[in-house]
Amino acid sequence: MLIHSATQLLTLQGGPQRGRDLGKLGLLENGAVLIRDEKIAAVGSSAELRAAYPGEPTLDASGCVVMPGFVDPHTHLIWGGDRANEFEMKMAGAKYLDILAAGGGIISTVRATRTASIETLIAQTRSRLLRMFACGTTTAEAKTGYGLQTATELRLLKALLRLDDEGPLDLAITFLGAHAIAPEYKDNPQGYTDLICETMLPIVCQWWQTHAPRLSLPFVDVFCENKAFDLAQSRQILSKARELGFPLKIHADEFDNLGGASLAVELGAASADHLVKTSDADIQALGKSDTVAVSLPCTPFGLAEHNYTPARKILDAGCILALATDCNPGTAWCETMQFAIVLACRYMGLSPAQAIAASTINSAQAICRADKIGSIEPGKQADLLVLSVPDYRHLGYRFGTNLVKQVVKRGRVYSVDVGYYRTA
């Protein structure tokens, strides 16, 4: 298939974009993309490719932006129930970590998740995934973390593997048994930390090798924060995970600076995520490393807080910056990367071009897939979007409506435009 006449074709070619280099879109006017066997076969001007490949089925993208599918590298997609009641409490002044310490927050979702059947969890997560897909996310990371006991955590992994298998989105799966202290260990956080290291991680490692032998091991993540896992416990968990061969991620500095970002660098983690209260020393460490700095602007927005990731400082330090939604029932039930871009432009000082690069090639790097997705280059998977706008800056500028017209996933075209109709 030949997609041609794109008013703007954003290739994002050239690999992850570090520091002030962020924002190189590789823009071609009147561009075209040739797709063969689920992959991108050629990229060039419409005139060139139409002449070289006559008789190819075509998709006319005139008046539209064509760009890589969004990669959302941080979500907590699989959960039971909802927390609409806590949203109301927070808007009336209650604090997120206090609700958690009082047995609500993550723990209330844990209760609802433990009692939900795998079919219910799959059905609810599938509808979230389809909304993400319609908004242009073609690959998403998805964490467990609302089980906090071995059996339920394995159920969540199993559900995520099934959803990955079923498509259309590709998933990058993460084990987040260290999302909160399990309620059974409320007064013994070190006991739960030891359980993760001595029991859960070895079981997950073995389980994965039997249930998903063709896939490499999932990421292991830790919520390094006051009232969750302190720095020493985070180090204990991530070191054990590394020993077992898991790739690593960390939640760091969402509310307090505990040094999680430097720990991520020290252990060679793929990414350090949140990064709101990050110290200058931690930012410098990230800037000298290959650990991707993942910012989640939907989270402070969702909590009606005013501190966002200091993106300018992070770019000045030379970091690889990415964006994600953090989609979860507590702080940010947001299924669209378009809204993360809107917030990053307004509250983090990114330009639309920087926010787009942070949501495609750099977010692919945050899940270690920048060699396969995140840009439109020959050989890469044919995951791309046709936007119903003629200028990429409409991303960021406009909010509250979906700008995606078509999603192309592994070369298959899915129409998103709802259109309008009138009954007789």
> Which of Fe ion, ligand NIG, none interacts with 141 (beta carbon under 5 to 8 A by kind)?
none
- Does position 17 interact with ligand NIG (CB under 6 A)? The reply is no
Measured from the CB of residue 251, what is the shortest distance to Fe ion in angstroms?
Answer: 5
Three-state DSSP at 235 gives helix
Measured from the CB of residue 145, what is the shortest distance to Fe ion in angstroms?
Answer: 8
- Does position 326 interact with ligand NIG (CB under 6 A)? The reply is yes
Measured from the CB of residue 333, what is the shortest distance to ligand NIG in angstroms?
Answer: 9
Cα distances (angstroms) measured from residue 318 to each of 106, 113, 313, 340: 34, 40, 9, 21
Interface characters, 189-228, with ligand NIG (x: CB under 6 A): ----------------------------------x-----
Q: Report DSSP state, residue 69.
A: P
Q: Give the torsion sign (CA, 177, 183, 184, 185).
A: positive
Strand partners, 35: 40
**DSSP structure string for 363-393:** HHHHTT-TTTSSS--TTSB--EEEESSSSTT
**DSSP structure string for 256-292:** S--SHHHHHHHHT-SEEEE-SS--HHHHHHHHTSS-E
- Does position 300 interact with ligand NIG (CB under 6 A)? The reply is no
At a CB cut-off of 8 Å and minimum separation 6, what does 54 contact? none
> Which of Fe ion, ligand NIG, none interacts with 254 (beta carbon under 5 to 8 A by kind)?
ligand NIG
> Which of ligand NIG, Fe ion, none interacts with 249 (beta carbon under 5 to 8 A by kind)?
none
Q: Which of 144, 289, 331, 381 binds ligand NIG (CB under 6 A)?
A: 331
- Does position 234 interact with ligand NIG (CB under 6 A)? The reply is no
Closer CB to ligand NIG, 49 or 116, in the complex: 116
At a CB cut-off of 8 Å and minimum separation 6, what does 85 contact? none
Q: Is 302 within 8 Å of 334 (Cβ atoms)?
A: yes
Q: Rule CB under 5 A: which of 288-347 touch Fe ion? A: 326
Measured from the CB of residue 344, what is the shortest distance to Fe ion in angstroms?
Answer: 16
Measured from the CB of residue 109, what is the shortest distance to ligand NIG in angstroms?
Answer: 5
What tokens were used for 19? Answer: 């520091």
How many residues bind ligand NIG (CB under 6 A)? The answer is: 13
Strand partners, 177: none
Q: How far apart are CA 29 and CA 6, in angstroms?
A: 7
- Does position 328 interact with ligand NIG (CB under 6 A)? The reply is yes
- Does position 249 interact with ligand NIG (CB under 6 A)? The reply is no
Measured from the CB of residue 339, what is the shortest distance to ligand NIG in angstroms?
Answer: 15
Q: Rule CB under 6 A: which of 76-95 touch ligand NIG? A: 76
In the sheet where 321-323 sits, what is the strand order? Answer: 70-72, 137-143, 170-178, 219-224, 249-252, 271-274, 292-295, 321-323
At a CB cut-off of 8 Å and minimum separation 6, what does 96 contact? 90, 105, 255, 303, 330, 331
- Does position 104 interact with ligand NIG (CB under 6 A)? The reply is no
- Does position 124 interact with ligand NIG (CB under 6 A)? The reply is no
Measured from the CB of residue 136, what is the shortest distance to ligand NIG in angstroms?
Answer: 21
- Does position 325 interact with ligand NIG (CB under 6 A)? The reply is no
Q: Is 125 within 8 Å of 143 (Cβ atoms)?
A: no
Q: Which candidate, 229, 237, 322, places its Cα nearest to that of 275?
A: 322
Closer CB to Fe ion, 339 or 392, in the complex: 339
> Which of ligand NIG, Fe ion, none interacts with 106 (beta carbon under 5 to 8 A by kind)?
ligand NIG
- Residue 291's Cβ-count burial label (10 Å; 0-12, 13-18, 19+) is buried
Of 18-26, 278-286, 327-335, 346-354, the window that binds ligand NIG (rule: CB under 6 A) is 327-335
Closer CB to Fe ion, 326 or 335, in the complex: 326
Binding footprint of Fe ion on the chain (CB under 5 A): 326
Binding footprint of ligand NIG on the chain (CB under 6 A): 76, 105-106, 109, 223, 251, 254, 299, 326, 328-331
